[in-house]
Amino acid sequence: MNGKLCVGLVFGGRSGEHEVSVVSAGSVAGALDRSRYEVIPMGIDRSGRWADAGTAAAVLAAASATPNEVPEFSGATRLDPRLQDGSLDVVLPILHGPFGEDGTIQGLCEVLDLPYAGCGVAASAVTMDKVLSKRLFREAGLPTPRFETLTAAEWGRERIRCEARGLALRLPLFVKPARLGSSVGISKVNDAEEFAGAVELALGYDDLVIVEEGIPGREIEVAVLDGEPPLASLPGEVVPGHEFYDYADKYLDDACRLLAPAPLDPGQVAEVQRLALAGFAALGCEGMARVDFLLDRRDGRFLLNELNSIPGFTSISMFPRLLGLSGVGFGEVLDRLIECALARHARRQRLAAAALRPLEVRARPGAG
């Protein structure tokens, strides 16, 4: 279209982070270079249905104009026809949480043979799953807080044993849904009597729960942007306004402080950047990620907490802010994500074509 790349900007979705996604997409729409891209708004409502073109465009325009007032909308179809009619050059998914950040929208794009920005199917699923992520961190020799897991079935069958395993990590603890973001469903447990309620809350969002030891430390974040080589940004620091950095602290109360860059010495900066790139590689990430750390006040070690494969792009989000401080503006970040998406798609098409070539079969001597 007029020599521009048609970018399908997908937002909304079925997760509890629907509003954050809409606000993030509004910011992205404002930062995309309209001389290079034709932005195609593609909205998914809370039930998972796709909005028609006019509704999606209106929602995105409203989110861009008034980011503090997230508009509600309803979809009309199970799949946006523009995904299949050849009108898109690349998909830019700005979906947070399940049914978007977890490999599902990425798998849809793979099936439809559409280039898409960000991590692939496997890495998206792994980064969304705190349990799998931590197991891979340990396998790669990367430091991460101690943890235990429990399922809804285990909790129903052997609650006392589950409590004993969790409390053995020593208080305080954090109890989290294993596959959710934006601190939804997370509790800090300071007393053993609070443990069961925290688990019940987490199980309301996921049937897999992770229990982590509480680390007395600072919350440090690093943005990673793919390239040759990948770039690790200057680190930032989150200073929670609540007891911990929960959903309200992130998006509702404006109580937290975001320090960018974080007050760290040069050696600490180099170490956390090294670990961020190592974590990015360990989970097989591509495109982008925000890597979250805890800086243990007891021994000065950085502990990898989690990676977010589609980090927030709101006005207060650390990911674009840290990259901006590292010399990569918001528009350039999006340019690089789109370039990486197109390059990966072209590479995979070449590999697929090679795999489909008939194999040369030679008869073994004496065969037949």
Angle at 9 between CA 5 and CA 15, to 5 degrees: 160
Count CA atoms within 13 Å of residue 331 on its CB side.
Answer: 8
Please give the model's pTM, rounded to 2 decimal places.
0.89
Neighbour tally for 183: CB within 10 Å = 18
pLDDT of residue 359: 62
CA distance linking residue 117 with residue 321, whole number of Å: 19
Give the fold, CATH level 3, of 5-116: Rossmann fold (3.40.50)
| Domain residue extents for the chain | 5-116, 127-143+216-325, 147-213
Whether 102 and 124 have beta carbons less than 8 Å apart is answered as yes
Strand partners, 90: 7
Q: What pLDDT does residue 255 have?
A: 62
For position 98, what pLDDT does the model report? 87
Active site residues: 17, 182, 251, 290, 292, 306, 308, 312
May I ask the CATH class of domain 147-213? Answer: alpha beta
Burial class (CB in 10 A: 0-12, 13-18, 19+), 134: buried
Query: Given this model, what pLDDT does residue 367 score?
Result: 55
Q: Which residues partner with 306 through β-bridges? A: 292
**What kind of fold does domain 127-143+216-325 have according to CATH?**
D-amino Acid Aminotransferase; Chain A, domain 1 (3.30.470)
pLDDT in tens, the chain (368 residues): 578 999 999 999 998 889 999 999 999 999 999 999 999 999 999 999 999 999 999 999 999 888 788 889 999 999 999 999 999 999 999 999 889 999 999 999 999 999 999 999 999 999 999 999 999 999 999 999 999 999 999 999 999 999 999 999 989 999 999 987 656 789 999 999 999 999 999 999 999 999 999 999 999 999 999 998 999 999 999 998 656 545 544 544 466 789 999 999 999 999 999 999 999 999 999 999 999 999 999 999 999 999 999 999 987 899 999 999 999 999 999 999 999 999 999 999 988 888 777 766 555 666 55
